[in-house]
Amino acid sequence: MASRPGIPAGEIEYIFDAFHQAERVRGTLTSGTGLGLAISQDLARLLGGEITVSSVEGEGSTFTLSLPISCSK
């Protein structure tokens, strides 16, 4: 099965889990360990923020990093 842009709807809830790779589930071999998004989400949460994703299979995905503004003096 050829790789297509976007993430299948059934995979969205798992993409931030450590060692999960949506591409491998879809039958395409990928390199890496599946830790990048899990680590990124953990770091964002440590900073008081979050990473969200919206995706349309066959079109692509958009990841958004939201962090609080600090007004320290």
Spatial CA neighbour of 37 closest among 57, 52, 25: 52
SS3 content of the chain, % helix, strand, coil (to 5): 30, 20, 50
In the chain, the N- to C-terminal Cα span, in Å, equals 55
Task: Give the separation between CA 9 and CA 35, rounded to whole angstroms.
Answer: 20
pTM above 0.85, yes or no: no
pLDDT for position 11: 87
Q: Which CATH architecture has domain 9-66?
A: 2-Layer Sandwich (3.30)
Q: Check whether 4 has a pLDDT greater than 80.
A: no
For the chain, which residues make up each domain, given as ranges?
9-66
- Token pair in block for residue 49: 């923020």
